[in-house]
């Protein structure tokens, strides 16, 4: 799926197929989805904790940090 030509609908279908193949639907209650989102977001937030706004805009200038954030 090339980035420049993939539609949102195609991405949604791919994610839906991925979850269906693993029978994850049984776990996708609103509570579980929100908690999972919060946990993943917290992991990303760790890389910016205690960082001022301006340095946070340049975090991807450092290849190591870019890989960690990715």
Domain CATH number, residue 30: 1.10.287.1080
Reference 28, options 45, 40, 16, 39; nearest CA is 16
Residue 3 resides in a domain: no
Q: Name 44's Cβ contacts closer than 8 Å, sequence gap at least 6.
A: 69
pLDDT score, position 29: 95
Task: Please give the model's pTM, rounded to 2 decimal places.
Answer: 0.63
Residue 49 resides in a domain: yes
Residue 2 resides in a domain: no
Residue 1 resides in a domain: no
| Residue-range definition of the domain harbouring residue 63 | 8-69
Tell me the torsion sign for CA atoms 41, 44, 49, 52.
negative
How many domains does the chain contain in total? Answer: 1
Residue 61 resides in a domain: yes
Reference 48, options 60, 37, 36; nearest CA is 60
Would you say residue 1 has pLDDT above 90?
no
Q: What angle do CA 17, 40, 7 make, to 5 degrees?
A: 40
pLDDT digits (tens, 9 = 90+) for 3-60: 889 999 999 999 999 999 999 999 999 999 999 999 999 999 999 999 999 999 999 8
């Amino acid at each position: 799926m090339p980035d420049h030509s993939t539609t949102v609908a195609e991405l949604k279908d791919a994610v839906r197929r991925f979850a269906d193949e693993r029978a994850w639907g049984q776990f996708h209650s609103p509570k579980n989805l929100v908690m999972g989102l919060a946990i993943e977001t917290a992991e990303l937030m760790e890389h910016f904790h205690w960082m001022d706004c301006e340095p946070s805009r340049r975090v991807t200038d450092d290849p190591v940090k870019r890989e960690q954030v990715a």
